[in-house]
Structure 1
Amino acid sequence: MSHPSLFTPVQAGALKLPNRILMAPLTRCRADADHVPTPLMAEYYAQRASAGLIIAEATMAIEGNSSFWMEPGIYSDAQVAGWKLVTDAVHAKGGCIVLQIWHGGRACHPLLNGGAQPVAPSAIPITGDEVHTPEGKKPYVTPRELRDDEIPGIVAGFKKAAENAKAAGFDGVEVHGANGYLLDEFLRDGANKRSGPYGGPLENRARLMLEVVDAVISVWGADRVGLRISPLNSYNSMIDSDPVAITEYIAKEASARGLAYLHVMRSDFLQAQSGDVMTPARHHFKGVLIGNMGYTADEAEQAIAAGQLDAVAFGTSFLANPDLPARIAAKAELNAPNAATFYSPGPAGYTDYPAMAA
């Protein structure tokens, strides 16, 4: 078999993964108007059940924090029922699936949230980009700085989302601490200019993320909880003065808690920042380390064989190739993804990518 390291099983906490070709969380905007997962989503995820692990897309932990218009939530009974269709379909195909729980922070928009102003660690807007709304693309607005006394409600919302994810039949949860959304905004000093217990030194900026992780652990146990970080990614106007220090600190804290895995985005979508965050993550995190962003199967094989990481999460290649592990094993050609349908409604570019010919 080609790529033997990719096809070696791995134990991530309580999660027994049959291979190390994981499906990265991919926002696809196919939920309904009430952010309820649809039968089409169940079909999509079930098609990809041969992944070692499916990390389902960013899902609203708390109502009123939409930043993608038609993304799913996990705060209502209807959403729990919709996700149960998904998990049942994936499990019926022998797959393993965790839910990525998320708060959009300053990436949210009033037009998506009944006119409500988005919240953030500091009143600093995202610049240089626009958000999709029912009225077309619009500039991001300046967020409202969260008060310290509001933060326990955020933590409680994530805990409830974790409870709902369990009710929906997931195998675990991933806390979304990446890509310029609320937890990442608190973590990185380019977006967090506040003082007090949640601002200033790194230990304070990381406090909210770790409080959320601890709340989720209280529901699931650490061995079914993962955390995703993106110390270098400048998407959503993000930057930090010391991304390596962030990586080291979060890796140590995640390791001390015994998390099932740490999921690290190794680079920058926009190529504005560079550096090596995988080496310090490997050094300081003793559990399963997942790498993400731009890996080919060959590079993933080499990195796993060398002990640099334990698994790789593939994004657009899994989007376009529902049978990606089989294609990698056979060294078969991959379908090319169609970016024009990444966020459009319906099955086109979603459930209609062909599997490899027999």
Structure 2
Amino acid sequence: MTCRAVITGVGHYLPERVVTNSEFEARLDTTDEWIRTRSGIERRHFAAENETTSDLATHAARAALADAGRAPDDIDAIVLATSTPDLTFPSAATMVQSALGMTRGFAFDVQAVCAGFVYALANANALIVSGQASRVLVLGAETFSRIMDWSDRSTCVLFGDGAGAVVLEAQEGQGTSDDRGILSTDLHSDGRYRDLLYVDGGVSTRNTGHLRMQGNQVFRHAVEKLAATAEAALDKAGLSSSDVDWVVPHQANIRIIKGTAKKMGLSMNNVVVTVQDHGNTSAASIPLALSVGRARGQIKPGDLLVSEAIGGGLAWGAVVLRW
């Protein structure tokens, strides 16, 4: 028998405020058509002034726990992917732990920007397979609206806030690709490309900073690296693109999503797309898409999923799992 980390619950949370493309037209040299054409984004959500990343994550966590039929103290660990934590420390994960009333286990953050949720899933999977945890709450949550340069039309129109969560539980499998749960992971990073996507400030620079991106260069790297990591993860699981029921990608840009699907030889009919409604929510985008895709009736028990993401670092990776 083989231990597998199986998703038993999923949930998400979006802030109440919805920001349409037209809101940017009044203060930027941009149009709704320009934004839609280049990104596929029609609207996004922004957190309220008093809402923090851990607040968003806590809402998503409660939804996932309810979906799994679990109480907070059933959970052994929380792994939260974010690049926009409430504070420098402690981790946002421990804040969620406290807000849930969870009095046992451990919690920590993972920072791999838009690839954060893939990294978090890989870490949670390792905790379960190694026997260090039986149930792990895995979160992606961001308030990217806090780090936008509102004069930069090439970036500020692309991002939104939100959170998504899954409950992973240890279950026995047969050790084949027919098992439910995470079947393989594939992670990469290359710090030589740091300047393509970064925030120009931080604690040790004593400057909060704003997000900076060389969009054309990021696009060039994204399609190639996302398709390659997805195919590598599938190969590790003894599978191929033809076995995939759904690609649930990082929701950054519709052109990247389409380009990656084409490179993998897959139809867009096999891709869960939410970028039009949420924008790029960084580490939150994949769990948001998982939750929405399941709610739409797209993702069903037994379906084979591959999720891939790339973010600042550059950091990228993929996860193959059976729902």
TM-based fold match above 0.5: no
**TM-score under structure 2 normalisation?**
0.31
Larger relative contact order, structure 1 or 2 (CA cutoff 8 Å, min sep 6): 2
**TM-score under structure 1 normalisation?**
0.28
Higher share of residues assigned strand: 2
